[in-house]
Amino acid sequence: MKYLFSFVCVLGLAVAGYAQEPTVKIIQSGTPTVHPPLFILDGRAMPELVKSNTDSTKMVSPINNIDPNNIERVDVLKDDQALKAYGEKGKYGVILIYTKAKK
């Protein structure tokens, strides 16, 4: 089964995908940047790259390993708000990802 999903977070950031398995991709509109934002998953900072869940020879963004069906909410912090909350690590923005609680 193929999944098609897309939702706009805020400020030109969107989460979208089209794949056999649900995947998450961050698409940034506007001027491209070489500095990725800081990703926080359920209160923990995520590394910039991890091994893919589907191909252990590939390094991917850790958000690629998140099941979109498990995402409850995504918040975006930018500018002073990101710096105040995360200091120098948040200078390029912060994406807060909250997953659904396991029942």
Tell me which residue has tokens 């708000």: 81
Q: What is the structure's pLDDT at 6? A: 42
β-bridge pairing 25-28 and 38-41? unpaired
Query: What is the residue extent of each domain of the chain?
Result: 3-99
Q: What is the structure's pLDDT at 23? A: 55
Tell me which residue has tokens 């939702």: 7
Q: In angstroms, what CA-CA distances link 80 with 20, 49, 75?
A: 39, 26, 15
55 φ/ψ angles, rounded to the nearest 5 degrees: -145, 100
Whether the full predicted model's pTM is greater than 0.75, yes or no, is: no
Which stretches in the chain have pLDDT values below 50?
A: 1-14, 17
User: 7: which 2 tokens?
Assistant: 């939702």
